[in-house]
Amino acid sequence: MIQKANIETSSRSAAQRAHSPAIHAGAESGGAGTVGNLALKKLLIENKPGTETILYVEDEGVLRGVIADCLIQLGYRVLSADDGEHALTLAADHKGPIDLLLTDVRMPEMSGPELAAKLLPLRPAMKVMYVSGYPDDIVAIHGSPGPDIVFLAKPFTIKLLAAKLREVLEKQE
């Protein structure tokens, strides 16, 4: 049993992950296989709670559900989309600000960077953070990562995600 909340992905198929997702929580969480409330409460104490709106785009349903739930428990308002087109629709329909786009790099039909390129002209204050299980993705798409490219490699812990979100959201332009 892993002692802290951890999200892991691998090359297993989505069907395999749906039946046995590699999402673990420590004994303090109250049960194996779920992200525990105590672990998330500890993160809230260690990190400034979120209040911002995040547009989260992930094509893998199980992972999207778990991460979206964690973000909500961390205080964020979450608009959750399963692909780029859905994200564009959610962004168009959302009347308030979207503070951050948290998107997978590789998705069918529209990549995360393609989605960001379509959204940023409409929402120039929105920050972008990419996640991928393929660390070379960001270099292949954008060249060497610059200071404006924020990338988080899967697998990542919820603690690392929470800290990185705060860092990106609080960074002054």
**DSSP-derived secondary structure for 56-122:** EE-S-HHHHHHHHHHHHHTT-EEEEESSHHHHHHHHHH--S---EEEEES--SSS-HHHHHHHHTTT
Nearest to 159 by CA among 53, 21, 19, 29: 29
Count of residues in the chain: 173
- What pLDDT score does 48 carry? 72
Between CA 66 and CA 28 the distance in angstroms is 18
Residue 157: pLDDT above 50?
Answer: yes
Between CA 127 and CA 101 the distance in angstroms is 6
Nearest to 61 by CA among 128, 112, 5, 15: 15
What SS3 state is found at 32?
coil
Between CA 50 and CA 166 the distance in angstroms is 8
Binned at pLDDT 50, 70 and 90, residue 5 comes out as very low
For the record, the structure tokens of 149 come out as: 């490219």
pLDDT tens digit string along 87-145? 999 999 999 999 999 999 989 999 998 999 999 999 999 999 999 888 676 556 555 45
pLDDT tens digit string along 21-66? 333 333 333 344 445 566 656 665 666 778 999 999 999 999 999 9
- What pLDDT score does 151 carry? 87
CATH superfamily of 47-170: Response regulator (3.40.50.2300)
pTM to 2 decimal places: 0.74
Domain residue spans in the chain?
Answer: 47-170
